[in-house]
Amino acid sequence: MTIKVGVIGAGNIGADHVTRLASQVVGSAVAAVFDVDAARAEQVAAGAGAVARSSALEVIEDPGVDAVLIASPGELHAEQVLACIAAGKPVLCEKPLATTAADCLKVLDAEVAAGRRWIQVGFMRRYDPGYQVVKNTIDDGTVGEALLAHMVHRNATVPGSFTSEMAMTDSVIHEIDTTRWLFGQEIVRTTVVATKPSPLAAAHLRDPQIVLLELAGGGVVTVEVFVTCQYGYDVRCEVVGSTGVVALENPTANALVTGGRRIEAVPADWRVRFGATYLTELQEWITGLRAGVVGGPSAWDGYAATAVAESAVASLETGEPVAVGLVERPGLYT
Amino acid sequence: MTIKVGVIGAGNIGADHVTRLASQVVGSAVAAVFDVDAARAEQVAAGAGAVARSSALEVIEDPGVDAVLIASPGELHAEQVLACIAAGKPVLCEKPLATTAADCLKVLDAEVAAGRRWIQVGFMRRYDPGYQVVKNTIDDGTVGEALLAHMVHRNATVPGSFTSEMAMTDSVIHEIDTTRWLFGQEIVRTTVVATKPSPLAAAHLRDPQIVLLELAGGGVVTVEVFVTCQYGYDVRCEVVGSTGVVALENPTANALVTGGRRIEAVPADWRVRFGATYLTELQEWITGLRAGVVGGPSAWDGYAATAVAESAVASLETGEPVAVGLVERPGLYT
Amino acid sequence: MTIKVGVIGAGNIGADHVTRLASQVVGSAVAAVFDVDAARAEQVAAGAGAVARSSALEVIEDPGVDAVLIASPGELHAEQVLACIAAGKPVLCEKPLATTAADCLKVLDAEVAAGRRWIQVGFMRRYDPGYQVVKNTIDDGTVGEALLAHMVHRNATVPGSFTSEMAMTDSVIHEIDTTRWLFGQEIVRTTVVATKPSPLAAAHLRDPQIVLLELAGGGVVTVEVFVTCQYGYDVRCEVVGSTGVVALENPTANALVTGGRRIEAVPADWRVRFGATYLTELQEWITGLRAGVVGGPSAWDGYAATAVAESAVASLETGEPVAVGLVERPGLYT
Amino acid sequence: MTIKVGVIGAGNIGADHVTRLASQVVGSAVAAVFDVDAARAEQVAAGAGAVARSSALEVIEDPGVDAVLIASPGELHAEQVLACIAAGKPVLCEKPLATTAADCLKVLDAEVAAGRRWIQVGFMRRYDPGYQVVKNTIDDGTVGEALLAHMVHRNATVPGSFTSEMAMTDSVIHEIDTTRWLFGQEIVRTTVVATKPSPLAAAHLRDPQIVLLELAGGGVVTVEVFVTCQYGYDVRCEVVGSTGVVALENPTANALVTGGRRIEAVPADWRVRFGATYLTELQEWITGLRAGVVGGPSAWDGYAATAVAESAVASLETGEPVAVGLVERPGLYT
């Protein structure tokens, strides 16, 4: 059985997903593509043997579409995901699930009302082998009780439109989900600590930033986010347990020795670092759908991450710790 | 277009390939399976939605089979590959192409007579990202002129039936192909150097062994093969150029620190180390076939590797350097 | 010229220093030793060809003593250092210079009144080659402008008498000095963040703890201190600049591969990690004294570190950020 | 007690030793210096508070000289060491003990006739902490039975006067001693394997070269020597045992991340890599002499290493394996 996917949003990430679904994932095909840029949609659709549609809703309601992948701008996610639920179609929604916790709650309510899971949120790090080693090492007790963690999230550069708030909602949101997943706990409070800005960051951008994530169980995770570090894409973490430490470094297999230096490459960007991880994410999504199962990060995970990011934005503005208030977790997500 | 593959040999490697072709490779299906153990063939075929056949030839000549994958015992390869050529079907033959250089030449002759490439030989390391970095680093001149290399090939243990000669024909044959590919040169002479056997190796087994591979251009590659090293699967290489060195280590992304030790995992076996590489090999084979192209390591590569391994076996027996005599390379392979 | 040193305090650190000065440092001898445990003093003195004295003052005023090394309990340091100044003798005082900033100021005042430097404080990390690489890499601009840093300071275990406050005054005080030295700036505010305590830490001990050190220039340094990490002594740092990162890892030269693991040793304790560094510190002190020079970390450094540690203890108690108020820096220390 | 050392040869190594003995080693002073360049001897002597002498013999027979350090050209060593024995003075002789095995035997005979050890040969690697970890790991059985080893010895460049033979007698001689010491066995046969020369090596120089060292117990050690590798000084080894591997890498504690690369420094030359090791060697020599003991690598070690290097030079010329014939080991050296 082939899952025919409709893709909403054919920007960089969306187009990459189309390529994967059309030619790298087993059991999927791309049936329809929508993008606000119609020519772009035509081009991407043509490359995948799909048709271009003139609206997101057309994609969602297309009877030839079995499942939907949303890679549109974040502020459109809530409405599009709600339409998928209404249409009874499974959806893989790129993060964020919605840009506000309030909108996420609307999605949660709809899915709960539907009585079953339709939604997977695109927190792809959970599919990365390196993160899975960290998760398994915590879960099997090898480092004792997990107490705290240190994470860094660095990008070489960002577009001029990138803001200090986006460092929370677009970048740190990955560490937020990773933290919740690794520790199996909710984050209850965040603090964004102002630090010296890089002279190479845009004037409007506070960069780097340090974020403290406090867990329900008392642990604290420090996150450094630095989106103009210049040198590459550097995502690492170190979880400290009561009897040991487990770390995720940049994956490496090769060394070059020349000119007095032993050199290992640092990934240039997230495509280099996580390209294979995205493929695994999509493959597992499709494999699940073929078996009639929706799994992976849930709408609850999407809601919680957005709520935490929202509190981080608030802390960024006030300089004070900000509590995260989550609704009670519906039974659908336990 | 789906390539329907017939698989000959459903042992461990064959069965793994069936799983990959049936459920992990895009554009392929398994149509037929043969194994000398009919029950095994039935079982493996059933798991892939294929039919079991009662002979290799039945698989090859099955009109529902577009391409053949041979994972039978090495001494059967030549005959089966010849049958594929006769049937005009592309074939991916696990190494060795044949167990003697003379048999390889029969295959070469047949393919040359056919006037086109049908054969890819399963030297999967060429598809490993780490080896590709080494290859690219040599080719782009980053380490100057490649002069020599050091390679190790260690297995934790081998079955009791494994012999000293098999260390050449089954293990070092990978380093032989890797050397030819990395340097872009033929190997002209081999020397197997006797060294102290491990007390943990079987009495009939000379293990470890050191092999010197001399290249047409004058370079020398040292290979340590140690198939009872106990601790894991450890395949590494270091190519030394006139201005630098490029190395392939065990891929790693995680570290565990506990009990006074910083620990990185060593692969347990070749499945752990090269599982993803086999998948890439198969995917590229299928993708090529869908485009009407047979690429990858050729019958010439299979012949040259077997010829070098044959000389290494001769050196192992005599303790003397043994020259490798290759026929002239047919135009089909240039 | 041999510098004859009087040593006050013959506990573990004091006795180690006696051994170094008597037999590993060029140009020094131990002339006199005092310890509150007279038998201990006799024993340590005898091993170094020195005499035991019955009070710290006797050591300081001994005409056969050219310079004094203080390794007594911290609460005695101020009085003993003042006596050294009064006696006109150079002194190497183990950290802390004094247990309160107020007492440090008394020492500062006395040294300023004396009109010259007599005091070096035992912040030995400044003599570690690894830290010096970090310092030089910052200073030569290789990582651009230094923006922030992450540090960890872990001990396997501590005695039952160790308190949460001592984690600041005895452990983090090293990171405090390291931060001031690496960045060349004063620390203006500290925050101790409560995190989940290890179940293996004593009930009275809050461990691990996270400390934020805010620099005058706006940068922030995160410090994790974890004194019951069980697995070893693990002191590392990573300084993040506007164009790159420089890190200090555990020094390593060897790897052991066995049982599926590639293993590098983690230092068991500070003696293993910093033993050679202490020797360098003492050698440079003695070499300086032979040339008539007192250098190294000054009384001002000792004062500033104690003032910051004091603010960290206050933050530990209140959970709030606490400002560090330093007096104006006397000209003697610029 | 201060050991007053006379130094013969004030070239780079000799002058470094003078500095160490005069100002970095505890318990030594430099009393006299000879160099064939009288002005050089004057200058080096003056810097160490010593007097310049007009011949090696004057140094050796100087009643104010307690012990002799020989850093003259290798072809003078035998005669000078013999004079030390005749004068009854302990001597640390830089490698080689003598340039021919025959001359080494004369020295052995003289020392045996003297009935006690006077000679230590300057194989300083035995004092390197990294090599000591390898030695201890073998000796304590952690890697099972040591079976073979791989070593590399690379220099960035050499003077134009450096020859292919010197790669054996000056460079590989260190691996020869290291091998004998690590395995606790004599080397019985050597083979120098011709490989492709670097285009950056001088025309008269065969470089790199591969050397096989066969041990009495059957093990084989591969050595790559490459004295014009351009990129730095790179000395490493990996000893393979029946249950594990122990390796010595370049010591490292720091990493720099910038421009897409994670960089560890490779030592520029042997002074950077082994400077501290030379100091340990000298300190242990002096400490021993103060206790009336001559230890360390013996004249036997010097003889055996020269004999093996001689066989390697013969193999280099003939391309054939060359046996090493050692005399019976005198009781003085067991």
- What is the pTM (predicted TM-score) of this model? 0.96
| CA separation for the pair B148, D194 (Å, rounded) | 11
Size of interface B-D (CB pairs under 8 A): 111
**D229 vs B222: CB contact, 8 Å cut-off?**
no
Percent with pLDDT over 90 in chain C: 99
**C151: which 2 tokens?**
């540090």
Which whole-number Å values give the CA distances from B315 to B150, B186, D97, D233, D238, in the listed order?
19, 18, 38, 35, 25
The architecture (CATH level 2) of D126-269+304-333 comes to 2-Layer Sandwich (3.30)
Count CB-CB contacts under 10 A for residue D158.
18
Q: Phi, psi (5° rounding) for residue D79?
A: -60, -40
Residue partners of D164: CB distance under 8 A and separation at least 6: D204, D205, D206, D207, D209, D316
Interface with B, mutate which of A143, A145, A234, A254 (most B CBs under 10 A): A254
The string of DSSP letters for C13-39 reads: HHHHHHHHHHHTSTTEEEEEEE-SSHH
Q: Do D231 and A268 touch (CB under 8 A)?
A: no
CA pair distance B278, B301, nearest whole angstrom: 18
| Contact in structure between C244 and A230 (CB atoms under 8 Å) | yes
Q: Where are the domains of chain B?
A: 3-123+275-297, 126-269+304-333
- Asked whether A240 and A147 are in contact (CB, 8 A), the reply is yes
Mean pLDDT for chain C overall: 97
- C245-287 pLDDT, tens per residue? 999 999 999 999 999 999 999 999 999 999 999 999 999 999 9
Residues of chain A with C-beta less than 8 angstroms from the C-beta of C208: 147-148, 240
Rounded CA-CA distance A91/A93 in Å is 6
The closest alpha carbon to C212, from C202, C203, C204, C220, belongs to C220
CB within 8 Å: A231 and D268: no
Q: Which residues of B touch C259 (CB under 8 A)?
A: 231
Whether the bond into C208 is cis, omega within 30 of 0: yes
pLDDT, residue C154, reads 98
Angle between helix A173-183 and A129-139 (nearest 10):
30
Residues of chain D found within 8 Å of residue A259, distances taken between Cβ atoms: 231
Residues of chain A predicted below pLDDT 70: none
Kindly list the residues from chain B whose CB atom is less than 8 angstroms away from the CB atom of residue A290: none
Angle between helices A12-23 and A270-290 (to 10 degrees): 50
| Beta strands in D178-260, from DSSP E residues, in sequence order | 187-193, 209-215, 220-226, 234-241, 244-258
Residue B213, beta-bridge partner list: B190, B221
- pLDDT at residue number D308: 98
User: Is residue D36 within a helix (H) or strand (E), and if so which, with residue range?
Assistant: none
DSSP letter at A196?
P
Question: Distance (Å) from the C-alpha of residue A243 to the closest C-alpha of chain C?
Answer: 5
Nearest-CB residue to C232 (from B252, B260, B266): B260
Distance CA A319, CA D274 (A): 51
pLDDT score for D1: 83
Contact (CB<8Å) A242/C195: no
Identify all chain C residues contacting B232, using CB atoms and an 8 Å cutoff.
257, 260
Find all residues with CB under 8 Å of C85, minimum gap 6, and list them.
C91, C107, C110, C111, C114, C118, C119
* Helical (H) or strand (E) element with C7: strand C3-8
**Distance in Å, alpha carbon of B255 to nearest chain C alpha carbon:** 10
CB B303 within 8 A of CB B101: yes
Chain B hits for A49, Cβ within 8 Å: none
Residues on chain B bordering chain C, Cβ-to-Cβ distance under 8 angstroms: 230-232, 234, 250, 252, 257-266, 268
Q: What is the number of other CB atoms lying within 10 angstroms of the CB of residue A266?
A: 24
Tens digit of pLDDT for each residue in A31-86? 999 999 999 999 999 999 999 999 999 999 999 999 999 999 999 999 999 999 99
Query: Which residues of C make CB contacts under 8 Å with D?
Result: 23-26, 129-130, 133-134, 137, 142-143, 243-259
Low-confidence ranges of chain D (pLDDT < 70): none
Single-letter amino acid code for the residue at C77:
H
Quick check: D143 and C256 CB within 8 A?
Answer: yes
Interchain proximity A222–C210, CB inside 8 Å:
yes
For every residue of B237-294, DSSP letters joined together read EEEEESSEEEEEEEEEEEEEEETTEEEEEPPSSHHHHHHHHHHHHHHHHHHHHHTT--
Between A and B, how many CB-CB pairs are < 8 A? Answer: 85
Task: Identify the pLDDT of residue C111.
Answer: 98
Give tens-digit pLDDT for C217-245. Answer: 999 999 999 999 999 999 999 999 999 99
Give the DSSP H/E element, type plus range, for residue B57.
Answer: helix B56-61
Range C33-62 average pLDDT: 97
Question: Rounded to the nearest 10 degrees, how much is the dihedral formed by the CA atoms of D175, D178, D180, D181?
Answer: 180
Q: Are the beta carbons of B256 and A134 separated by less than 8 Å?
A: no
CB contact under 8 A, D243 and B230: yes
C-alpha B111/C-alpha B114 separation (Å) is 5
D176 to chain B, closest Cα gap in Å: 17
Please report residues of A whose CB lies closer than 8 A to that of C148.
Answer: 195-196, 208, 210, 224
Going across the sheet that includes B67-70, the strands are B51-52, B28-34, B3-8, B67-70, B91-93, B119-121
Q: Do A252 and B248 touch (CB under 8 A)?
A: no
Closest residue in B to C268 (Cα) is B260
Predicted pLDDT at C1: 83
CA dist., res. D306 & res. D94, Å (int): 13
> What's the average pLDDT block by block, 10 residues per block, for chain B (334 residues)?
96 96 95 98 97 98 98 97 98 97 98 98 98 98 98 98 96 98 98 96 97 98 98 98 98 97 97 96 98 97 98 96 97 94
Q: Are B233 and B267 in contact (CB under 8 A)?
A: yes
**CA A228 – CA A226 distance, rounded (Å):** 6
| Spatial CB neighbours of D117, under 8 Å, sequence gap ≥ 6 | D111, D294, D295, D298, D299, D332
pLDDT at residue C194 in the model: 86
Cβ neighbours of C247 in A, within 8 Å: none
Residues of B whose CB is below 8 A from D217: 196
Domain topology for C3-123+275-297: Rossmann fold (3.40.50)
